[in-house]
Amino acid sequence: MKKWRWPILLTVIFVGLGALLHREELRLIDRSVGDFFYGLRTDGLTPLVKGVSELGSTTGFVVVLLITLVWTLLYLRNVRYAVWLTVSLAGGWLLNKALKALYSRERPDLWDHLVVPDGYSFPSRNAMISAAFFGLIALLLLRSGKAGKRIWAAVVLLIILLIGVSRLYFGVHYASDIVGGFLAGAVVAVLCSWGALRRNNR
């Protein structure tokens, strides 16, 4: 049962958050957080945020996937890692589409959008796929137990956080969209890590 504790807990929190989307209390929190990031906008900072956000774009995900596939197949010679990294990316994308259709939350119109949003708002696609794909990379790095790889895992986790924050900066998501994306993506990452590490646990 301990093995299932984290994905079940994350799923319960996600469902609870989804049930609160239309509550005024959550709207006030979303607006306060959004106003905070809106106030951070500057001409100098915006290009930097857009650069970070590119890591959470379709192009960014594909490029990183190709790099990790080359690394896992040619250097690590671990086909299982390669398969589950691909599954985490594709699975996160497909599940996100299903969840967006289920909740059908409209994009925020409280702030000027610095990028053109696509589709519904909850959960954030960029945040969710980042948590699923990059999150799996972080889990695999942490699994090694080596100090150097733990540092890289921390860097990857920071990238996930920055990708989510960038969507708030752009004004295209509520804070609850980002949190929901992180929660759902983390479930995908944990489940895929079990598949990737299964042979090593035997």
Which pLDDT belongs to residue 48?
93
Read off the pLDDT of each residue in 109-113 and give the average, rounded to a whole number: 88
Selection from 176, 181, 183, 179 nearest residue 22 by Cα: 176
Q: Per-residue pLDDT tens for 29-79?
A: 999 999 999 999 999 999 999 999 998 888 999 999 999 999 999 888 899
Could you tell me the pLDDT band of residue 1, with boundaries at 50, 70 and 90? Answer: low
Judged against a pLDDT cut of 90, whether residue 94 lies above it is answered with yes
**Residue length of the chain:** 202
- Please answer whether residues 98 and 142 qualify as being in contact, where contact means their C-beta atoms are separated by less than 8 angstroms: no
Question: What span, in angstroms and rounded, lies between the C-alpha atoms of 117 and 36?
Answer: 20
Could you tell me the pLDDT band of residue 202, with boundaries at 50, 70 and 90? Answer: very low
Using N-to-C axis directions, what is the helix angle for 175-197 and 147-169, rounded to 10°?
150
Could you tell me the pLDDT band of residue 8, with boundaries at 50, 70 and 90? Answer: very high
Least confident of 14-23, 106-115, 157-166, 180-189: 106-115
- Please answer whether residues 170 and 121 qualify as being in contact, where contact means their C-beta atoms are separated by less than 8 angstroms: no
Which pLDDT belongs to residue 201?
45
Q: Per-residue pLDDT tens for 124-169?
A: 999 999 999 999 999 999 987 677 889 999 999 999 999 999 999 9
Question: What span, in angstroms and rounded, lies between the C-alpha atoms of 21 and 37?
Answer: 20
Name residues whose C-beta falls within 8 Å of residue 97's C-beta, 6 or more positions apart in sequence.
Answer: 119
Selection from 69, 74, 95, 78 nearest residue 143 by Cα: 78
Residue with tokens 């708002």: 121
Higher pLDDT, 146 or 105: 105
Question: What span, in angstroms and rounded, lies between the C-alpha atoms of 59 and 160?
Answer: 16
Read off the pLDDT of each residue in 88-108 and give the average, rounded to a whole number: 96
How far is CA 112 from its chain centroid?
A: 23
Query: Which letter, b or e, does each residue of 121-147 get, where b requires 16 or more Cβ atoms within 10 Å of its Cβ?
Result: bbbbbbbbbbbbbbbbbbbbbbeeeee
Which pLDDT belongs to residue 39?
92
